[in-house]
Amino acid sequence: MRTHGRTLALGAATAVLLAGGALIAEHWGPQPAGQVHTSFLEQGNSYSNGYMMGGSNAPGWEQGTPLQGSMMGGSNAPGQIMGRLYANAPGPRITTSAAQALAQAVPAGAKISRSHRTVTFSSTEVHLTIVAAMKAGSDGFELAGMTNPSIVVPRNSKVEVTFVNADQDMAHGLAVVPQGAGNTEMPMMTAGPVFGGASVWFLGDATASGAPERTLAFSADRAGTYQYICPVPGHALAGMQGELIVS
């Protein structure tokens, strides 16, 4: 992912939305300009909330001080800046070789079609792994050896996704949003996740200690066609998006 160097004004994107890991705002409709959609913020996890969204170890700009100049339109992409800032964030990690294997593995109980680029589940217990940035120059998510395949699950299925960021110099996240929400530079300002628990705001760079991973779980209780995207500014628009079909 090396195509996100465009000027992006984040405003006070992450300032004081969480203080010490506590959510102090909750909005599910469109956000005013310059504010991150708070439904993307991770809740109930001490290592992500405290470190990544305003806790005592977070950078000052996440606690209300001005954003760094490079995040306000400098030469570095926001994903690169966030990736470096959280490269050593606490939380589980896996080796690069394990991430490569997971990116190629067919999930248990899934039927795949490489010609149609689909991964289809018939069971209402769905477990899969999505890996970001395993292929050089690829703008996408890797699942079952395919990039951005359509994922089909039954209505009312319990979906558990292990998300891995294997990129060594770019932050990536994962969120399930309404169809079309990913076709904008900053999707987190216009739409929240369509299912409770269906988002990971972002994970920092993979390092020598491994690629960060995170598990998200949600109930796909409404039929429809949705998008799974990377909510980091510019990434979904550059290609990090695919379809989630609940049938």
Q: How far apart are CA 135 and CA 141, in angstroms?
A: 9
**What tens digit of pLDDT does each residue of 106-159 get?**
999 999 999 999 999 999 999 999 999 876 566 799 999 999 999 999 999 999
CB 177 within 8 A of CB 157: no
- The predicted model gives 171-193 an average pLDDT of 88
Domains of the chain, residue spans: 18-246
Ranges of H-type helices in the chain:
46-52, 78-85, 96-104
Q: How far apart are CA 111 and CA 16, in angstroms?
A: 44
Least confident of 13-27, 135-149, 190-204, 228-242: 13-27
* C-alpha distance from residue 114 to each of 20, 22, 71, 119, 143 (Å): 45, 43, 39, 9, 11
> pTM value?
0.74
In this structure, which CATH number among 2.102.10.10, 2.60.40.420, 3.30.470.20, 1.10.10.10 belongs to the domain 18-246?
2.60.40.420
Amino acid identity of residue 226, one-letter, is: Y
Report pLDDT for 66. Answer: 43
CB 172 within 8 A of CB 160: no
Q: How far apart are CA 185 and CA 116, in angstroms?
A: 28
How do beta strands 118-121 and 150-153 pair? parallel
DSSP 185-225: S-GGGT---SSTT-EEEEE---BTTBEEEEEEEEEE-S-EE
